[in-house]
């Protein structure tokens, strides 16, 4: 790994590693796609059950008087209808497999990078800062940078006997997939803001000008002081010769 890439990675390593570690942990603890689809169906059924229950006159008679309404009943009913509809849409967006086996993934409304793609996205953006381009998916140096970030965040190592002497070619697919999350995608925009160096604070033009004028006036030596060495005498002579010009600047500028 080149020194430039190592320096760029170390400058933002703390924040990037923390973000990636959180993504790895969240992914490991997430329910399986089959479990998510089951929970979606349960949510839809629960919302429909509540809607039917609050519309049932016999059940309403147990909850409130005949001429009363539940608090925020209209808003609550609207929320339940919205939840049921959204749960139905999510199931339509993730239909069950036609053949045997469980679904491999569940697609959310917001498509973002999973943990390995996030690692590849970090690598690609660091690489782009240094080399002004996205790394090639077959670039071994980019693969090593991906693996370094991944291991630092607590991920399991890639490569091994099946990868022909520990080659890290598993990152090819993730580097290719991560390109879609470059800015202006929100995931890429967030990382780009983290990696961007802070803008230096600049003084206003007026304040800087006044400070320079004040320094110029304070630096003007007194006309009555006489130097004791020849070197100082020459400097003093040059200073006195420009005394009128300095005084004119300070007076007219104040």
Query: Can you tell me the distance from the alpha carbon of 210 to that of 189, in angstroms, rounded to the nearest whole number?
Result: 39
Q: Supply the pLDDT for residue 227.
A: 45
For the stretch 162-200, what's the b/e string if a residue is b when 16 or more beta carbons lie within 10 angstroms of its beta carbon?
eeeeeebebbbebbbbbbebbeebebbeebeeebeeeee
Averaged confidence pLDDT in the chain: 77
Helices (H) and strands (E) in the chain, counts: 12, 0
Q: What CA–CA distances, in Å, run from 132 to 7, 125, 127? A: 16, 9, 7
pLDDT confidence of residue 235: 54
How does pLDDT run across 181-202, given as a tens digit for each residue?
A: 999 999 999 999 888 765 555 5
Alpha carbons 13 and 153: distance in angstroms, whole number = 10
- Looking at residue 30, its pLDDT comes to 84
Question: Max Cα separation, the chain?
Answer: 112
State the Cα–Cα distance between residues 231 and 136, nearest whole angstrom.
64
Q: How far apart are CA 59 and CA 213, in angstroms?
A: 84
pLDDT of 48-63, one tens digit each?
999 998 889 888 888 8
Provide the pLDDT for residue 113.
Answer: 92
Q: Which pLDDT tens digits describe the chain residue by residue (254 residues)?
A: 556 555 655 666 788 999 999 999 998 898 888 888 899 999 999 999 999 988 898 888 888 887 788 888 889 999 999 999 999 998 888 877 666 665 666 766 667 899 999 999 999 998 998 899 999 888 999 999 999 999 999 998 886 544 454 568 889 999 999 999 999 999 999 999 888 765 555 555 556 665 556 555 555 555 555 444 455 545 545 544 444 444 433 433 33
pLDDT of residue 194: 86
Where exactly are the structural domains of the chain? 3-23+110-195, 33-93, 205-253
The pLDDT score that the predictor gives to residue 83 is 95
How many angstroms separate the CA atoms of 110 and 118, rounded?
Answer: 15
**Burial 25-40, CB ≥16 within 10 A → b, else e:** eeeeeeeebeebbeeb
């Amino acid at each position: 790994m080149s020194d430039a890439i190592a320096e760029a990675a170390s400058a933002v390593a703390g924040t990037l590693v923390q973000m990636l570690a959180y993504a790895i942990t969240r992914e490991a603890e997430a329910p399986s796609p089959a479990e998510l689809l089951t929970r979606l169906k349960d949510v839809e059924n629960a919302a429909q059950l509540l809607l039917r229950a609050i519309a049932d006159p016999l059940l309403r008679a147990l909850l409130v008087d005949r001429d009363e309404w539940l608090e925020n009943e209209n808003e609550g009913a609207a929320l339940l209808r919205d939840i049921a509809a959204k749960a139905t849409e999510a199931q339509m967006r993730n239909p069950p497999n036609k053949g045997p086996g469980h679904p491999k993934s569940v697609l959310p409304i917001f498509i973002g990078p999973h943990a390995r793609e996030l690692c590849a996205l970090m690598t690609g953006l660091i690489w782009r800062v240094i080399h002004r381009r996205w790394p090639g998916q077959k670039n071994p140096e980019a693969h090593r940078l991906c693996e370094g970030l991944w291991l630092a965040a607590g991920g399991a190592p890639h490569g091994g006997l099946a990868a022909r002497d520990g080659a890290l070619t598993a990152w090819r697919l993730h580097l290719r997939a991560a390109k879609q999350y470059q800015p202006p995608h929100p995931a890429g925009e967030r990382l780009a803001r983290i990696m961007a160096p802070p803008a230096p604070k600049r003084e206003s033009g007026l304040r800087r000008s006044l400070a320079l004028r004040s320094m110029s006036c304070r630096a003007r030596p007194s006309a009555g002081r006489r130097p004791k060495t020849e070197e100082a005498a020459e400097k003093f002579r040059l200073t006195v010769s420009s005394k009128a010009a300095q005084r004119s600047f300070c007076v007219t500028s104040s």
